[in-house]
Structure 1
Amino acid sequence: MSRKISYEKELAFQADRRKATTEFIKIISDLWYDKSIEIVLFKNQVIDRNVSDIIHLHEYAGEFVQKPISIFDSVELLRAINDLKLPPSKLDIGKLTYEYHSDDNNFNNVKAFVVEKLRSAADYDGIKPKDVVLYGFGRIGRLLARELMSKTGKGNQMRLRAIVVRGTMDEAVLEKRASLLRTDSVHGNFMGTVSIDGKNNALIINGTTVHIINANQPEDVDYTQYGISDALIIDNTGAFRDKKALSRHLKAKGASKVLLTAPGKEIPNIVHGVNHLEHDPDTTQIYSAASCTTNAITPILKVVEDSLGIRKGHLETIHAYTNDQNLVDNMHGKYRRGRAAGLNMVITETGAGQAVAKALPALKGKLSSNAIRVPVPNGSLAILNLDLKNKTSLSGINTILKKYALEGDLVEQIKYSLSKELVSSDIVGTSAPSIYDSKATLVSDNGKNLILYIWYDNEYGYSHQVIRLAKYISKVRRYTYY
């Protein structure tokens, strides 16, 4: 009889938990669409997630911080947030719940706790929306479009107004571009609507017009004809890499700043979270978001350098194949890349080891690097072999990185994995550029050598770094509580 009662209690608890999760989803939707307040759970996006996703994220959060992160507490805190008058914000409900249960919380009342934690929002001056143009519409361009459009909200941050492409444009080509945005073999279907306006050469994304502009040269475009002004041009073509070439974008009417989604020459190469504050958006017009690999390893290297010191090291990146490689064996300008990408592991070079020094000058000349392209379409792994100045242990390095993943300036950049079963397909769709595999780390007996395994979605995680940097450049970063 007792087993039956216990089972009935379990069923009742599951029903109550799912009901609370449904309320959680409704409140975060209301906050986002009515007040431009985005809720995340320890950096994980929760907008447009289903009930099972939200429950799973709460379980991960509880395991991560080793404290109960209950959906019932989250809902109670969200109710209190919904009652406040806040500016456009990005708030981590996981961090708030964790702090509410911490030993130094002196508040018995949820409302008073939330008011105290978010009181600095009252000093926030607000933001002016920024027009954005995607120059190019390849792998990164389409992911940027997806993310920008799905996070438009009330449109008081970044507004995707146009996409510039080359080649002829008719309804058939426009429909092909719309189809590539709707569906993706790696990242799945776009969680929104995409249709075409053939008469006006535009895509209608989630009911909003995004002009498709045909241009062969950056300076040929007059963005003001489309009602676009003071725009940030995000160049994801890879065709323009130095200051002189990228400056051509600034000759276009309606353009004011440029962001390159690749390593650049003679311009600031930025890993957001590490060195973005070193360059003032009021005085710097052209930026580079560096490479996906540089964004993956630099946050981790900064933590290790600041905490333990690095004498020297080697980076080996096990990287998904890219468009630059051949589908079948054929001629190629670089060694080995001519062999079939889907059938071979291909040794090639990477400049990420040297590029790190642009964000972390203390590591200049200390890192060698190489790359192996492997037969997966997305999801990569960086292996860092580091000689340290100061000793550590397995628990020591894990504690250090867990702290940085939980609080501080790198919480958006570092995700701490607890899984013993993590493989490359598991990290596809992760917004953090660095996923620290805590279960794979190796430390030498003398504590002076580390081997770290850093996973990264070389498309999705990098695209989020581009958007974070774009928001900083455009001065549309919201009030945040991380």
Structure 2
Amino acid sequence: MGLGQIGRHLYHLVLENDDIEIAAVADIGKPEILHYLLKSDALDGLRCELRDNYLINEKFRTRMLQIARPGDVPWDVLGVDCVIDATGRYRRREYLEAHLRTGARRVILASLPAEPIDRVVIPGINEGSAVSEDRLISAGSATTNALALLLQTLDKALGVDCASMTTVHAYSSDQSLQDYAHEDFRRSRSAAQNIIPNSNESARWVERILPKFSGKLSGYALNVPVQRGSLLDLNCVMRDAGVTVKRVNEAIRAAASDHPMLIGVTDDPIVSSDVIGCRQSLLFDSRATLKAGKRIVKVLAWYESLGHACRVLDVVRHYSRLDGVGG
């Protein structure tokens, strides 16, 4: 449900393999504009057509429904087993349960939940805790995936006592290009003209996913005027005063070697537009590592929305394997 930026990424990614079919899409937009945006989004062209409210490609047909609320979508009639809620709007348990009441067997939320649900699964961190009985699952957010992986990697290899993070984040669809009235004074300002300090839920959720950091992790966001490509700035108080920049970079390289689909490393002097199309959860910037004093280390890692869409599908496939479906 929801064919915004993440939803469109998911559609393109599903077309690359044969293990998943998208039976239906529900969105507040008209099918014609959604089809137009899908085709505009494709980097190498998208061969699909809209016919009688079906989006048709060479692999499957997708029913297009202009429906706003979760409980109004007849997933049972549509033959849908797993719903991916990529609206970014319906993050409370009551809304997610509405998908179950209309026939879905499981709901994967493509953002962080507004309250505790069955499980938040971060690939590379805690997918081993997932069980087939889970019904309401979150795949976290792009920032949450990057933060959890980077923090756990540094902690396992070198030991981290506490940390703070800032995400320098591309603007999002709920921001306005012009100043407008908003209950949050800072978010009332133009996304295209300002660096906007903003709250971010990732640190709070990573504390739950990595309980040893409970009360030892904080963070916020700076929304900046770029469309895609974000940067995680993580400052850690290390356990060992002997940690060096070289050892930090070596630890991340080792993790990238073990988990190449999740963690990348670059030695190039890249900028935000260079990470557009990155499918990993994070791309570590080895040139940016700093040490201050005896135990403070700063690291930077790039990430973007396509990488998060890949993680959402990782979670879908993981639960399919738990159910004995797919490889």
> CA 1:356–1:139 in 2, change beyond 3 Å: closer, same or farther?
same
CA distance in 2, matches of 1:190, 1:356: 36
**Residues 258 and 286 of structure 1 are in contact (CA less than 8 Å); yes or no, is this contact kept in structure 2?**
yes
CA RMSD of aligned residues (A): 1.7
Provide the residue aligned with 1:194 in structure 2: 48
1:267-319 deviation per Cα after TM superposition (whole angstroms, max 9, x unaligned): 11221110111121x11111011121111111010011112221112101111
* Aligned positions of 1:322-471 closer than 5 A: 322-390=172-240, 391-407=242-258, 410-419=259-268, 421-444=269-292, 446=294, 448-457=295-304, 459-471=305-317
1:188-218 deviation per Cα after TM superposition (whole angstroms, max 9, x unaligned): 53543021112xx111123531111233443
Q: Which amino acid aligns with 1:366?
A: K
1:270 aligns with 2:121: yes
CA distance in 1, matches of 2:46, 2:170: 27
Q: Which amino acid aligns with 1:472?
A: H
Task: Look up the SS of the partner of 1:317 in the other structure.
Answer: strand
* Aligned positions of 1:174-323 closer than 5 A: 174-184=31-41, 188-198=42-52, 201-206=53-58, 208-226=60-78, 228-229=79-80, 231-253=81-103, 255-264=104-113, 265-267=115-117, 268-280=119-131, 282-323=132-173
TM-score, structure 1 as length reference: 0.64
CA distance in 1, matches of 2:313, 2:178: 34
Consecutive unaligned residues of structure 1, counting only runs of 5 or more, are 1-134, 168-172
Consecutive unaligned residues of structure 2, counting only runs of 5 or more, are none
1:309-368 deviation per Cα after TM superposition (whole angstroms, max 9, x unaligned): 211121011111111211111111212111111111111111222121122111111112
CA distance in 2, matches of 1:301, 1:318: 17
**Residues 146 and 190 of structure 1 are in contact (CA less than 8 Å); yes or no, is this contact kept in structure 2?**
no
Provide the residue aligned with 2:27 in structure 1: 165
Q: Which has the larger radius of gyration?
A: 1
CA distance in 2, matches of 1:436, 1:386: 15
Deviation for aligned residue 1:238: 2.2
Higher helix share: 1
**Residues 182 and 190 of structure 1 are in contact (CA less than 8 Å); yes or no, is this contact kept in structure 2?**
no
* Aligned positions of 1:99-138 closer than 5 A: 135-138=1-4
Task: Look up the SS of the partner of 1:142 in the other structure.
Answer: helix
Provide the residue aligned with 1:26 in structure 2: none
**Residues 21 and 60 of structure 2 are in contact (CA less than 8 Å); yes or no, is this contact kept in structure 1?**
no
CA distance in 2, matches of 1:393, 1:434: 21
**Residues 433 and 461 of structure 1 are in contact (CA less than 8 Å); yes or no, is this contact kept in structure 2?**
yes
CA distance in 1, matches of 2:62, 2:141: 27
**Residues 193 and 207 of structure 1 are in contact (CA less than 8 Å); yes or no, is this contact kept in structure 2?**
no
CA distance in 1, matches of 2:173, 2:89: 14
1:243-290 deviation per Cα after TM superposition (whole angstroms, max 9, x unaligned): 23211111113x11000111112211221110111121x111110111
> CA 1:477–1:423 in 2, change beyond 3 Å: closer, same or farther?
farther
Task: Look up the SS of the partner of 2:270 in the other structure.
Answer: coil
1:139 aligns with 2:5: yes
Identity %: 28
Deviation for aligned residue 1:233: 0.2
* Aligned positions of 1:30-109 closer than 5 A: none
> CA 1:242–1:175 in 2, change beyond 3 Å: closer, same or farther?
closer
Deviation for aligned residue 1:371: 1.2
Provide the residue aligned with 1:44 in structure 2: none
1:104-141 deviation per Cα after TM superposition (whole angstroms, max 9, x unaligned): xxxxxxxxxxxxxxxxxxxxxxxxxxxxxxx1111111
Q: Which amino acid aligns with 1:294?
A: T
CA distance in 2, matches of 1:215, 1:272: 31
Question: Aligned pair count?
Answer: 321
Deviation for aligned residue 1:445: 5.2
CA distance in 1, matches of 2:191, 2:94: 33
CA distance in 1, matches of 2:152, 2:260: 13
Deviation for aligned residue 1:164: 1.1
CA distance in 1, matches of 2:281, 2:35: 27
Q: Which amino acid aligns with 1:347?
A: P
**Residues 290 and 297 of structure 2 are in contact (CA less than 8 Å); yes or no, is this contact kept in structure 1?**
yes
Q: Which amino acid aligns with 1:307?
A: A
**Residues 269 and 358 of structure 1 are in contact (CA less than 8 Å); yes or no, is this contact kept in structure 2?**
no
CA distance in 2, matches of 1:469, 1:218: 21
TM-score, structure 2 as length reference: 0.93
Task: Look up the SS of the partner of 2:188 in the other structure.
Answer: coil
Provide the residue aligned with 1:105 in structure 2: none
**Residues 232 and 256 of structure 1 are in contact (CA less than 8 Å); yes or no, is this contact kept in structure 2?**
yes
CA distance in 1, matches of 2:44, 2:187: 31
CA distance in 2, matches of 1:334, 1:276: 35
Deviation for aligned residue 1:431: 0.2
Deviation for aligned residue 1:224: 4.2
> Relative contact order: is structure 1 or structure 2 higher (C-alpha 8 Å, sep ≥ 6)?
2
